[in-house]
Amino acid sequence: MSLTRRDFARTSAITGAGVALAGSVGALASAPNALAATETDVAGAAHGHGGVGYGPLLPDPDGILALPAGFRYRVVTYSGRTRLESGEFTPSNHDGTAAFDGPRGATLLVNNHELAGPRANWKYPVPLTEGLVYDPAAAGGCTVVEVRPGGHVAEWVGIAGTATNCAGGNTPWGTWLTCEETEDKAGAGGFTKDHGYVFEVDPEDRRANRDPKPVKALGRYAHEAVVVDPKRGHLYLTEDASNPNGLLYRWTPPEHFHHGRGKLRTLADDAGTLQAFKCFDSGGKFVDDLSRATKIGTVYGVDWADVPDRDARTTSVRKQFTTGQVTRARKLEGMWWGDGGVYIVSSYARAESPVQHDGSVWFYDPKRRTLTLKVRIGVNPDPSVEGDFDGPDNITVSPYGGLVIAEDGEGLQHLFGATDSGRTYPIARNELNIGTADEPEYSEFTGVTFAPDGRTLYANIQTPGIMLAITGPWKRQGR
């Protein structure tokens, strides 16, 4: 059913096109260079001011992670150094991660390994564990990390033989959906099967992961993240692609389908309906790209267009639509479900987009079918200088209020927090220089997630692949 112009006009009046930022996502508007639209926004607030945050970051003598005073980190896994239960080294290129309650007080973490192309390209690919392999020519996959009380760590393969496992999302039924950010087909790089799918990984039941099967109903494209609407059963998926820019998708389950552990892999390849979004403003004018919005509080109506060929047999899904059929956005990255809707990150926009920016966060309300711009960060003038943030990517809601954001920008890379009141503060800085002294380079942070008890913040340094557990005097970040 399409959303009519009259429906949108009524919805806009309810929502308010110039709404003040509210809730955890609104806090991001205080990131340096953010553009705020209302007097209640606190843009460009000083880091750590007014009791917010934990103070300045202190250099790490081991050269891995700078943290505030009183905080500590522990290396949980390290590619090429720590080993799996089976004896192989931990795979490299850590990416999306989710934490689950494990047995006897343990924490289970499912960790993506973003390894593209053939296995020969990588020194530490995901091991081809018998029964858990989709395509033996592919290097990527997921490992499951068990952190037990007392600190003992065990790690094993959850799925192998997948490609470019970037982000994904956890499900209300306690599993992890890992997403392949690629469109490679069988024959490319020696692959024996098509790639660009979503797979379900169960952190608790190893037997459930045997004989991996892609959820083809969710489409084949450069997947980034996925969230589940626990009420309606829809899945929302982002696509990180360019030329042309990627799309936001919604999958509607078939009638009488009920979600649950392992149910997605039972679906027919064409089950349900896969659609891409199309936005228009309050005047009914079509919006071709989300970067057009420059004012916080901008509200668009959303319609959904059916995907003609979700398996992209001859044409990439995003290229199956002509101008005017769908809305696009660059670097559609992290998502999460909250406040009855979907928060969606567009990490940045450059020359391939109509307007440039260094990050935006949107909120899709499925009840009203509206998309609201919550955050817009202007272009960072000098990413090599401490103080400014850019390129929000993975984001998690903090049990202490507000958000924790993993930075994937240029120059310095941080984990930083944002409060409900609109103040940002640093939590960690990557000090592992993988470049040279003259031309330093720092890998992005990925997989930011709190343990279920809220005491430990887990995050990854993608290259070479390090999972870190951060503890310290966490406190409620006031409004």
Domain shared by 351 and 296, yes or no: yes
CB-CB contact of 153 with 78 (8 Å):
no
Domain shared by 47 and 112, yes or no: no
Domain shared by 127 and 271, yes or no: yes
Question: DSSP label at 466?
Answer: E
For the ranges 33-42, 191-200, 254-263, the lowest mean pLDDT is seen at: 33-42
The pLDDT of residue 36 is 31
Our count of domains for the chain comes to 2
Domain that holds residue 180: 5-41+83-377
The pLDDT of residue 50 is 53
Task: Summarize the confidence of residues 1-19 as an average pLDDT.
Answer: 36
Domain shared by 373 and 385, yes or no: no
Backbone angles phi, psi at 144, to 5 degrees: -110, 125
Share of the chain residues as helix, strand and coil, in percent rounded to the nearest 5: 10, 35, 55
The pLDDT of residue 421 is 56
Domain shared by 192 and 107, yes or no: yes
Tens-place pLDDT, residues 170-226: 999 999 999 999 999 999 989 999 999 999 999 999 999 999 999 999 999 999 999
pLDDT at residue 314 greater than cutoff 80: yes
The widest CA-to-CA distance across the chain, in whole angstroms, is 62
Q: How far is Cα 108 from Cα 312, in angstroms, rounded to an integer?
A: 35
Last residue of a domain, one of 332, 354, 377: 377
The pLDDT of residue 222 is 97
Domain shared by 202 and 229, yes or no: yes
Domain shared by 326 and 209, yes or no: yes
Last residue of a domain, one of 359, 377, 395: 377
Domain shared by 300 and 395, yes or no: no
The pLDDT of residue 45 is 33
Domain shared by 159 and 264, yes or no: yes
Domain shared by 439 and 463, yes or no: yes
**Contacting residues for 416 by C-beta, under 8 A, at least 6 apart:** 31, 389, 404, 405, 407, 424, 425, 426, 427
Domain shared by 322 and 389, yes or no: no
Q: State both tokens at 58.
A: 């202190």
Last residue of a domain, one of 351, 377, 403: 377
Domain shared by 308 and 399, yes or no: no
Tens-place pLDDT, residues 42-71: 333 334 345 789 999 999 999 999 999 999
Task: Summarize the confidence of residues 260-264 as an average pLDDT.
Answer: 96
The pLDDT of residue 161 is 98
Q: State both tokens at 200.
A: 């379900």
Tens-place pLDDT, residues 427-461: 999 999 999 999 999 999 999 999 999 999 999 99
- Of the two residues 479 and 42, the one the predictor is more confident about is 479
Q: How far is Cα 422 from Cα 433, in angstroms, rounded to an integer?
A: 31
pLDDT at residue 33 greater than cutoff 60: no
Task: Count CA within 13 A, CB hemisphere, residue 145.
Answer: 31
pLDDT band at 169; cut points 50, 70, 90: very high
